Structure 1
Amino acid sequence: MQNPPQGASDSLILAALPAIEAAARLSSFTRAAQELGLTQGAVSRRIQSLESHLGVALFTRQGRAVKITTDGLRLAESATAILRQIESTRLELSGDLTGSLRIGVLPSLGGLWLAPRLQAFTRLHPGLSVSVSTVDADFSAAHKDPVNWDPSLLDIVLTWGHGGWTPLTAISLFREEMIAVCSPDFKARHGIEITADLWTAPRLAHTTRPNAWDAFAEARSVSVTSGLQPQLAFDHFYMIREGALAGSGAALLPAFLIADDLAKGTLIQTGPTWPTGAQYAVVGTSTAFARPAAKAFLDWLAVV
């Protein structure tokens, strides 16, 4: 068989590079096709054509599952480096970011902190498409920062923990400091004068951090002999915040989530600040963090 012209070989390789990189990273032709805006058949044909041209198997197929071969991994690593360099050069020439950025975030962190600020980032990069979805965190002391999301589907995750998330890369966003707060009306109705008075009034609890009030009292040396047990418990901090604003009870909330409420006076601090030892962090793979969109977002987070 006569070899194709050099130009045809170059075109074949260049067309297949994004498909190889995405398929290797996602371990799926279907998910690679979705990310690239192609059909699954188009991705498969590009990879098969390159395999035929090179005379090597880049992936093994078992039904719908695909597994990259040693040769495929070598080519995928080269494809990643080449595509990253092309994107970096393009950005230097145009000055604009395009493409997509997929962010995962805890519900309260996303709703109360990230969402109101995110438009400042998108204004800086109008050509970038940003999608935000929620992730869960494990607040149990018995667990050490599990990665309970699929890192191949999210470029960056904003979550809570103690600095684990192995084997991913983690960058600390801010340390968690909890504050006991209530509404001005609640404070007046229940005669809250000192922190210990909170135990004589309704308190709101977090269902996944049920011992937070006890830990707060112990850490800040609050003298509590007895008191009412929390009657209302919620899954998320944004629910607890709404309950506190409505005067349903006193609340323990992360300081950064209620900074505006404290400034406006709609919530009042009723006890000392409690550093919990945990942190909120930005987590992702080193490959994802190296992408221009993710790097721009990380740079923005550093100054927001």
Structure 2
Amino acid sequence: MKLPPLKALPVFEAVARLNSFSQAAEELAVSQSAVSHQIKQLEHYLGEQLFLRTGRYLSLTEEGRQYYEAVSGALRQIEQASEQLLGQETMALRLSVFSSFAVRWLVPRLPALHRELPQLELALDMSGGHPRLSDRVADCFITVRTDVPAYSYELIYTEQLFPVCSQQYWQTLCRELGLDPALGVHQPELAPQRLAAYPLLSTHSIYNRAGGDWIHWYAVAGQSLPSGARLQHFSHMLLALEAARFHQGIALTNDYMLSNRADSADFVRLPCHALTTGDQFYFAWKTSRRNEPGLRLLRGWLVEQAIESGLLGR
């Protein structure tokens, strides 16, 4: 068996993960020169440059990135195998999750997670975009990406958008549109053009286009967004929903934004059609780590919660 300098592997993993020689030295309780020596020894053995150094900036080369992905997983498996034999196994996981999904759906459920899986230590990393699926970023992800072959994916939610407003605003709509408040939301479906008389709260990030969410919503009904529609633009659905809460108009939102939150009763889902955006939310984990107890427990719990909250059909 031909192995690289084994002492250098934990050093390489720490430098790659922390993106810093000095921070790796501090974590490993060794000198920075010792860290540099181990990395040079490993690069000499492999015949490849693992890091690019530009002034104070450090980054992995493509060869270094590929080597890190393999080495970090192998070291983690060795660590877990040892912990199992010692009876000291921990289940610490980093989950990267969209900010809206985290704030409106996952965080309110964390107390239940802690009660049901007290052995699981979950650290959340909120992502605003689409993070690269990599152990350097997190151990697992809530993502709409399914294009990385090294990962496995479990469907959590297929997104639909529907119009909502505050309870107070709903009373205004009933009065001005001649709706019967006693029927609640069980009214005949509202014609899309009737909504255009009111401020439409739009989220840019859904389609990365100004007014894109409402343009697509109207298109489902075979209509164009009315030219006189008053759009109020927001970068994020969280902001548009907050504006709706404070009676500023009608927002398009999805199921997880209103799922089992204490404030969900503040909103009324209007009797209108829904728009399927095409985005599907998945729990993603590296296939090579599929047997790790923590990942299996978290995956099962997330699917169970998605079913219970109505995001995922049984």
Q: Partner of 1:199 in structure 2?
A: 196
Specify whether residues 84 and 239 from structure 1 end up closer, same or farther in structure 2 by C-alpha distance, changes over 3 A only. Answer: same
Q: Partner of 1:143 in structure 2?
A: none
Q: Percent of pairs identical after alignment?
A: 17
Structure 2 residue matching 1:272: 3-state secondary structure: coil
Q: Partner of 2:167 in structure 1?
A: 184
Q: CA offsets, 1:219-275, max 9 Å, x none?
A: 2x2767846424322111111111112211111101121133699532122113332
The aligned amino acid for 2:265 is G
Alignment of 1:151-190 (within 5 A): 152-159=136-143, 161=144, 163-167=145-149, 169=151, 170-190=153-173
Q: Distance in 2 between matches of 1:69 and 1:165?
A: 21
Gaps of 5+ in 2: 180-188, 306-314
Q: CA offsets, 1:56-105, max 9 Å, x none?
A: 458646656666989x95x995784464155146347648524x422222
Structure 2 residue matching 1:281: 3-state secondary structure: strand
Q: Distance in 1 between matches of 2:257 and 2:20?
A: 40
Q: Check conservation: 1:181, 1:250, Cα contact below 8 A.
A: yes
Structure 2 residue matching 1:200: 3-state secondary structure: coil
Q: Check conservation: 1:168, 1:283, Cα contact below 8 A.
A: no
Residues 1:107 and 2:99 aligned together? yes
Q: Check conservation: 1:171, 1:281, Cα contact below 8 A.
A: yes
Q: CA offsets, 1:112-137, max 9 Å, x none?
A: 11111123334455465433222233
Structure 2 residue matching 1:283: 3-state secondary structure: strand
Q: Distance in 2 between matches of 1:34 and 1:217?
A: 57
Q: Check conservation: 1:176, 1:254, Cα contact below 8 A.
A: yes
Residue 186 of structure 1, CA deviation:
1.0
Q: Partner of 2:185 in structure 1?
A: none
Q: Partner of 1:6 in structure 2?
A: none
Q: Check conservation: 1:97, 1:125, Cα contact below 8 A.
A: no
Residue 174 of structure 1, CA deviation:
1.0
Specify whether residues 239 and 76 from structure 1 end up closer, same or farther in structure 2 by C-alpha distance, changes over 3 A only. Answer: closer
Alignment of 1:1-304 (within 5 A): 13=6, 18-22=10-14, 26=17, 30=21, 33=24, 38=29, 41=32, 44=35, 47=38, 56=45, 60=49, 63=53, 80-81=73-74, 83-88=76-81, 90-91=83-84, 94=87, 97-98=90-91, 100-126=92-118, 128-137=120-129, 147=131, 152-159=136-143, 161=144, 163-167=145-149, 169=151, 170-191=153-174, 192=177, 193=179, 194-196=189-191, 197-208=194-205, 209=207, 210-219=211-220, 221=221, 226=226, 228-260=228-260, 265-270=265-270, 271-287=272-288, 291-304=292-305
Structure 2 residue matching 1:265: 3-state secondary structure: helix
Residue 279 of structure 1, CA deviation:
0.9
Q: Check conservation: 1:176, 1:275, Cα contact below 8 A.
A: yes
The aligned amino acid for 1:239 is L
Q: Distance in 2 between matches of 1:233 and 1:251?
A: 10
Cα RMSD over matched residues?
4.3
Structure 1 residue matching 2:217: 3-state secondary structure: helix
Q: Distance in 1 between matches of 2:280 and 2:25?
A: 34
Specify whether residues 225 and 235 from structure 1 end up closer, same or farther in structure 2 by C-alpha distance, changes over 3 A only. Answer: closer
The aligned amino acid for 1:87 is Q
Structure 1 residue matching 2:163: 3-state secondary structure: strand
**What count of residue pairs does the alignment treat as equivalent?**
275
Residue 152 of structure 1, CA deviation:
1.4
The aligned amino acid for 1:202 is P
User: What is the TM-score of this pair, normalised by structure 1?
Assistant: 0.69
Q: Distance in 2 between matches of 1:43 and 1:124?
A: 44
Q: Partner of 2:309 in structure 1?
A: none
Q: Distance in 2 between matches of 1:40 and 1:292?
A: 35
Q: Distance in 1 between matches of 2:61 and 2:223?
A: 60
